[in-house]
Amino acid sequence: MPKTLAQKLWDAHVVRSTPDEPDLLYVDLHLVHEVTSPQAFEGLRLAGRHVRRPDLTVATMDHNVPTRGGVRAADDLSRKQMEVLAENCRREGIPLHQIGSRRQGIVHVIGPELGLTQPGMLIVCGDSHTSTHGAFGALAFGIGTSEVEMVLATQCLPQNRLRDLAVTVDGELPLGVTAKDVVLGLIGRTGISQGQGHLVEYRGSTIRGLSMEGRMTVCNMSIEWGAKAGMVAPDDTTFKYVEGRPHAPKGEEWEAALDHWRSLRSDPEAVFDQEISIDAGRLEPHVTWGTNPGQVAPVTGRVPSPHSDTDERALRYMDLKPGTPFADIAIDRVFIGSCTNARLEDLRAAARVIAGKHVHSKVRAMVVPGSTSVKKAAEDEGLDAVFKAAGFEWRNAGCSMCLGMNPDILAPGERCASTSNRNFEGRQGSGGRTHLMSPPMAAAAAITGHLIDVRELL
Amino acid sequence: MEPVARVSGRMAPLDRADVDTDQIIPKQFLKRIERTGFGPFLFYDWRANGDFVLDRPEHKGAAVLLTGENFGCGSSREHAAWAIRDAGYHAIVAPSFADIFVANCFKTGILAVTLPPRQVRHLIDLATEDPATEVTVDLEAQQVRGDGFTYRFEVDAFAREMLLNGLDEITLVERQASAIEAFEAQRSEYFPTVR
Ligand code: SF4
């Protein structure tokens, strides 16, 4: 029977399948960070268990870490959480890229960067944006802390089968329109729950034409429309990205891997439970106006009239009036960062917009690279100088103001142009107001001091 | 885990759709390394704004949380489920839930139950008009019952077994040791290890 990519990946990881029970799946790579793991390790300890495969587990510190000054967290609880992770990793023999080390970074940035993320794998992490790794043709999804404990103990995870959904994006992206706009445009159309219960495959000429960075941006936000996982079939773009990375297969193993990876695609007759298609040629740069990622519109438009209680609440929270042109909305802060948009390509795209210009006098702007390696690579090509000359703060790697667990937060009422993935109430700081957009759009907002169509600056 | 078969008590109506986990438990409270102690921070920002429905005296002590569709969307933080349980809600009834959240609820021993929007609306109206109304969410019978109504719900059969019998899922999986070893033996050479 013809199969979808997602079902092929699923079937390849079934340890045991029994009627009326979830399938027992084997996990190839388990990524761990400081916030969702302490209770899982504690559970293991209380039950006298150990980590079954520390060699398939890797940890980093990202959510809590300070992004300037030294490696000391600003508060005792954050510090404690990092110490506990370090201690758990030491005890169980799990490799840890801790703060201050050259491979530290956001968990979804370092996996691909180190070549740990590879096509055909099943990858989990106690973090909903694990869907990012699907960009490599892997089955990757977020899990809760009890499931983290399960995977630590058994390297397996019981999971119910999910439905298949295909998103086909065809056509050439217009100038100034990025992978972020593809996924924001998609969520604007589907709303934030249509993906529930589904594994999504992104396909079509536009997706094929995206770099790995762009594909990661799209897969990253799968969870923002409710999907469990998002993926792209691997191709030469994928293989070129993976080849030569520290954990990538080498020599004969590389050849064997390539043979297998080339088979990872949906069969032509495979049937999806749902299909959505998008014409990339008609997309525009997008901005969110509300408090969930589905409340989004092309930047050329105006704040829409509310269609529900949720919309009304959102407009109140965001202090916006229907009919206001987006370009009239002034901003206070700019955040270029997060696992959605803080890779080298994202920083380059933002730097191109700001080169030779200066951040608006009323705006405070910062760049937080996705990993220490991204930071280093950016500095090697002089991007830090471009950002600093323009008046941006250039920080150390971490999640930072994507979720504001460290001191990088918005003050109540502050309005932020952000390249992250969530505009929930208070996400970037209690009372803070977030507008999601692409890195070039955020860069343009930094310079002009208000939301603006980046194409006016190109 | 303690077995859970049914939850009875009053209902608290949180009549909103798309409630995300950032609202349920804001990030500044994710720094605890224990599974408990999150209750006081449930819906922290909304409560701080005053006159939050769950804080009204007539809804204090409710055991069943009623809410709108797509409840628990957003982050995978199990802290959201822990906070709800700590605050005394042992069942949640909604038209739909986010996937990771509903899994987290079952692991935490919370009965997260899906009913059609019309029936949830009926319950919300009941709880609003007469907050003393009590219901029973019965996992064994797969029913939400009250005075004059019985609503049947579907639930994942395996999750139900686990909860009714208070089984430890990790122990069950450990019993599959030979299948796991056999699977490991045939994994491809080139699959990376982190060493
Ligand atoms: S950058 Fe933001 S979304 Fe990504 S893992 Fe960190 S907190 Fe989560």
pLDDT tens digits along A71-117:
676 688 899 999 999 999 999 999 999 998 999 999 999 999 999 99
Whether A399 lines ligand 1, by a CB cut-off of 6 Å, is yes
Query: Looking at this protein, which amino acid is placed at residue B131?
Result: P
Q: What does the pLDDT read at residue A70?
A: 72
pLDDT, mean of residues A161-177: 98
Closest chain A CA to residue B27: A405
| B185: in domain | no
| B190: in domain | no
Q: What does the pLDDT read at residue A69?
A: 76
Q: What is the DSSP secondary structure assignment for residue B67, as one 8-state letter?
A: E
Whether A343 lines ligand 1, by a CB cut-off of 6 Å, is no
A246, exposed or middle or buried, with CB in 10 Å at 0-12, 13-18, 19+?
A: exposed
Dihedrals phi, psi of A211, to nearest 5 degrees: -70, 170
User: What DSSP string runs through B2-61?
Assistant: ----EEEEEEEEE--SS-BHHHHS-GGGTT-SSSS--GGGTTHHHHHTS--GGGSGGGTT
Q: Which residues of A touch B183 (CB under 8 A)?
A: 15, 26
| B192: in domain | no
Contact A272, A202 (CB under 8 A): no
Q: What does the pLDDT read at residue A76?
A: 86
Count up the domains in chain B and report the number: 1
The CATH number of the domain where B72 resides is what? 3.20.19.10
Q: Is the pLDDT of residue A151 over 80?
A: yes
| B52: in domain | yes
Q: What does the pLDDT read at residue B15?
A: 97
Smallest Cβ distance to A193: which of B79, B96, B107? B96
H/E stretch holding A344 reads helix A344-354
pTM: 0.97
| B179: in domain | no
Closest chain B CA to residue A402: B27
Whether A402 lines ligand 1, by a CB cut-off of 6 Å, is yes
| DSSP β-ladder status, A14-16 and A23-26 | antiparallel
Ligand 1 atom 4 nearest Cα: A339
Q: What does the pLDDT read at residue A111?
A: 97
| B50: in domain | yes
pLDDT tens digits along A19-77:
989 999 999 999 999 999 999 999 999 999 999 999 999 999 999 999 987 767 668 88
Q: What does the pLDDT read at residue A242?
A: 97
d(CA B52, ligand 1 centre) in Å: 29
pLDDT tens digits along A184-201:
999 999 999 999 999 999
Query: What part of A 393-412 touches B (C-beta under 8 Å)?
Result: 403-405
CA dist A55 and A97 (Å) reads: 14
| B176: in domain | no
Q: What does the pLDDT read at residue B188?
A: 75
- Closest residue by Cα to residue A197 from A120, A296, A274: A274
Domain containing residue B67: 6-168
d(CA A420, ligand 1 centre) in Å: 8
Shortest alpha-carbon distance between residue A439 and chain B (Å): 22
Q: Which residues of B touch A430 (CB under 8 A)?
A: 26, 45
| B188: in domain | no
ipTM over 0.90: yes
Query: What part of A 3-62 touches B (C-beta under 8 Å)?
Result: 15-16, 20-22, 24, 26, 28-29, 35-36, 38-39, 42, 47, 49, 55-58
Rounded alpha-carbon distances, angstroms, from residue A7 to A10, A201, A336, A422, B191: 5, 11, 35, 29, 19
